[in-house]
Amino acid sequence: MTYESLAARTGIPLPPTFARLIADGKTRYGENLDDWKANWSDYTLRAQPLLSCAYDLEWIGPEQAEEIAEAWLNPGFQHARAFVPFAISGAGDAYCLMTTAAGTIAVALVWHDRDDSAIETASFEHFVFTKLVESAADFEHLLDDFSPAQARECVLANMRAAAAYLPANLNHALAALISSQLPDDESDSAMISQVTAQAAFGVLPAFAQERFAVVPRWHCNER
């Protein structure tokens, strides 16, 4: 199973940026599980995988994506809607590529225990940008394992790594955040204020979230 074959089966083409991240190994957790367990701290601080700074987000491989798409996010269960899962939360919610009403490919967070969810960003690139800005505005989750200075460097490393994959306007917006004044107090859990974060989001075109009905995973087993 590959993401390309899953995309062909669902009719949801892979965004070029996502395909490049996969090809470049930017969604991998080390060479293997043992490597990750031994070196996870260094990998995380070096933005491997990309979005290692993001809260509660774990990239998944195509085999796990296929299992989720078959057992839960299957058009046969989900009101004829198709999904390509690419990441999960710790609770099992799924970040997915899906088709908007306008026919474009966007990103949704599909909650595992709710009867509806929403398309939250208009593109995969906007998803990556949003997660980076959110991490800059709140990296408290990183402080369980890293110092505030290390957490800041983790966010900065991710911004630098993302630069090769994001369009110029989003990179310019991230560069403006990097050049912002960092907090003097190292106990702070943010590099930027929420006001600055909202200003950064202003570079994204207006996008109205599209809500859609979801059949919770456990109900799919009843069908």
The pLDDT-based confidence of 143 (bands split at 50, 70, 90) is very high
Structural domains counted in the chain: 2
DSSP letters spanning the chain: --HHHHHHHHT-PPPHHHHHHHHTTTT--SSSHHHHHHHHHHHHHTTSSTTTTSTT-EE--HHHHHHHHHHTS-TTTTTT---EEEEE-TTS-EEEEEE-TTS-EEEEEE-TTSSEEEEEESSHHHHHHHHHHHHHH--GGGGGTS-HHHHHHHHHHHHHHHTTTS-HHHHHHHHHHHTSPPPS-TT-S-SS-HHHHHHHHTTSPP-PPEEEE---HHHHTT-
pLDDT confidence of residue 183: 52
115 and 139 inside one domain: no
Instruction: Indicate whether 223 pLDDT > 80.
Output: no
84 and 97 inside one domain: yes
102 and 184 inside one domain: no
Instruction: Indicate whether 221 pLDDT > 90.
Output: no
Q: Summarize the confidence of residues 149-175 as an average pLDDT.
A: 95
Q: The whole model's pTM is what?
A: 0.94
Instruction: Tell me which residue range forms the domain holding 185.
Output: 125-201
pLDDT confidence of residue 39: 97
114 and 148 inside one domain: no
Instruction: Indicate whether 158 pLDDT > 60.
Output: yes
pLDDT confidence of residue 177: 82
101 and 186 inside one domain: no
**Each residue's pLDDT tens digit, 65-82:** 999 999 999 999 999 999
**Each residue's pLDDT tens digit, 178-218:** 765 555 444 489 988 888 899 999 999 998 889 999 999 88
114 and 76 inside one domain: yes
197 and 143 inside one domain: yes
Instruction: Indicate whether 167 pLDDT > 90.
Output: yes
Instruction: Indicate whether 138 pLDDT > 50.
Output: yes
Instruction: Indicate whether 146 pLDDT > 80.
Output: yes
68 and 168 inside one domain: no
8 and 116 inside one domain: yes
**Each residue's pLDDT tens digit, 82-118:** 999 999 999 999 999 999 999 999 999 999 989 999 9
Average pLDDT over all residues of the chain: 92
pLDDT confidence of residue 59: 98
157 and 194 inside one domain: yes
193 and 214 inside one domain: no
179 and 211 inside one domain: no
